[in-house]
Amino acid sequence: MDMRFLMKQAQEMQKKMEAIKEQLSHKELKVSSGGGMVELLINGQQEIKEIHINPDIIDPEDKEMLEDLVQAAVNEGIRQSKEMVNEEMKKLTGGINLPGLF
């Protein structure tokens, strides 16, 4: 194989990856926990954009419950965001799993 061809292919893939990263920064997911008591908005780069907490669950005597609900929402948001990234990467790689690209 021609080395110039391989370098060109690698450069094209890198450009496509950068474009996907940019697109993912604008794709957002809404995730909730506690039956909607805690909601968050997260993008495809695992950046939390918003957190909303229903005031009805704010109990100074039970802050651990609120902490648990926030943690659950964040973890689910990260999981779903990574899933979204993996789906976009499959489109780029033709379904071949290349760990570590993002």
Number of structural domains (the chain) is: 1
CA–CA gap between residue 53 and residue 69 (Å, rounded): 9
Q: What is the pLDDT of residues 26-39, one digit of tens each?
A: 999 999 999 999 99
Q: What is the pLDDT of residues 53-89, one digit of tens each?
A: 999 999 999 999 999 999 999 999 999 999 998 888 8
Angle ∠(82,86,91) on CA atoms, nearest 5: 150
pTM above 0.85, yes or no: no
Q: How confident is the model at residue 99 (pLDDT cuts 50, 70, 90)?
A: low
Domain assignment of residue 18, yes or no: no
Domain assignment of residue 10, yes or no: no
CA nearest to 72, candidates 41, 28, 29, 34: 34
What's residue 54's pLDDT?
A: 97
The structure tokens listed for 27 are 């794709």
CATH for 47 = 3.30.1310.10
Place of tokens 């496509």: 16
Q: Which domain holds residue 85?
A: 25-93
Domain assignment of residue 32, yes or no: yes
